[in-house]
Structure 1
């Protein structure tokens, strides 16, 4: 697992200090999700990958074990490590989702993400309108203000919006609905890196939409919160799917 917000932070081009284990996981994971290592293909031998990534056998094997736990690869006796069929991939794993940011755009996959987001976040916003506390609302407004005053920093804007959505899920009092955060982060990263000439207008519309969501949550208006969130979903979906 990676920390929520890691993909958004990468938009600035700044990266954390290199950790060999994480580095190898990311390199192989991105290559699998991006199709460089196709489903059914066998990864190179340990010796080749150790030289390719400049790591020890121990680091490499630990990385492969992590990828196996995510469902991306499987050890095949007398064959080697094979890339698993997509049906075995853990798509709710935050790293697996994040790696799709670097893969070629796939309209059907994005459509699936929006279906999952709606299935999780609409019940979450309804729960938030019923169960929110004053502290939840205060924090939502704080992070919305951070988004609105982020200037040209897409990283700051994205992280602030992600916090708002995380608080919506948290205040629903249904911990399972927090599974939407990884999906949201990927969609937000894609939206923020599409069409740089219109990104500022998109950010402004997003802030306006989230403000309506928060005000409805604060007022305990379940239907109003749901309707306001649907407007936000439509905004994101149009931005991402147009032209894909």
Structure 2
């Protein structure tokens, strides 16, 4: 799950194409985030993990080096590979964020996710209202129309929402804001599966309406209005994610 949209495309349950390297990284990454491999503990030996995941030593070591680069593990001579403290994890890394979808998330972490998203995306909305081009407005209208057309399809609706936010980030003209799309995708996935099927359907309708209002503000060049509309979307999503939180339970559509 390293490409934008990969997490949302998994909501349908369709298996994604993968290679051994990606498979092992995802398996170990999810195990760390979920607590199966607890912070501060030493990972199983190479031989054990090679047998568990059915991969060669080369593939395993490459995966562990990737995880070390993300701050999640630390290899120590004569000790083994230890799971790093959470404070060292690169939580803005798209894969690391995606792995959190499989974990039992604390309310504090969820609140933090939406707080950071609000700080970044309200600024993106402000800039987009000032800098948007006619082509970007056309794309925003196209994607919100797709949200209306595919309302009954969880995955397609969520992907259309993601595209709206990606275009707004592009319209902001700030490359750092564009790099936050992984955080946005995780929150959209959490909202998409929160609650009962009836609640999820109602949430998709509400989100489509809120998104259309946001695009209208951006098209009109109303920066304060765009900021308020973006904040309303994020606050709505934050409430849905917290209300739909099911500690220890499987995700609604997984």
Question: With structure 1 as the length reference, what TM-score do the two structures score?
Answer: 0.98
What CA distance in whole angstroms lies between the structure 1 residues aligned with 2:198 and 2:3? 30
Paired residue secondary structure (1:75): strand
Q: Shift of the alpha carbon at 1:217? A: 0.4
Where in structure 2 are there 5+ consecutive unaligned residues? 246-254
Paired residue secondary structure (1:81): strand
Question: How many pairs does the alignment contain?
Answer: 244
Equivalent residue, structure 2, for 1:224: 225
Root-mean-square deviation over aligned CA pairs: 1.0
Q: Does 1:236 align with 2:228?
A: no
Equivalent residue, structure 2, for 1:41: 41
What CA distance in whole angstroms lies between the structure 2 residues aligned with 1:3 and 1:243? 26
CA contact (8 A) 2:76 2:82 kept: yes
Runs of 4+ in 1 over 3 A off after TM superposition: none
CA contact (8 A) 2:144 2:208 kept: yes
Equivalent residue, structure 1, for 2:135: 135
Q: Does 1:85 align with 2:85?
A: yes
Paired residue secondary structure (2:81): strand
Q: Shift of the alpha carbon at 1:120? A: 0.5
Q: For each residue in 1:4-33, what CA deviation from the matched residue of structure 2 results, as whole angstroms up to 9, or x when unmatched? A: 000000001112223111000000000000
Q: Shift of the alpha carbon at 1:243? A: 5.8
For 1:182-193, list aligned pairs within 5 A.
182-193=182-193
Paired residue secondary structure (1:100): helix
What CA distance in whole angstroms lies between the structure 2 residues aligned with 1:146 and 1:74? 44
What CA distance in whole angstroms lies between the structure 1 residues aligned with 2:27 and 2:116? 27
What CA distance in whole angstroms lies between the structure 2 residues aligned with 1:151 and 1:112? 28
Question: With structure 2 as the length reference, what TM-score do the two structures score?
Answer: 0.94
Equivalent residue, structure 2, for 1:26: 26
Paired residue secondary structure (1:163): helix
Equivalent residue, structure 1, for 2:214: 213
What CA distance in whole angstroms lies between the structure 1 residues aligned with 2:154 and 2:68? 33
Equivalent residue, structure 2, for 1:14: 14
Where in structure 1 are there 5+ consecutive unaligned residues? none
Equivalent residue, structure 2, for 1:73: 73
CA contact (8 A) 2:151 2:201 kept: no
Equivalent residue, structure 1, for 2:58: 58
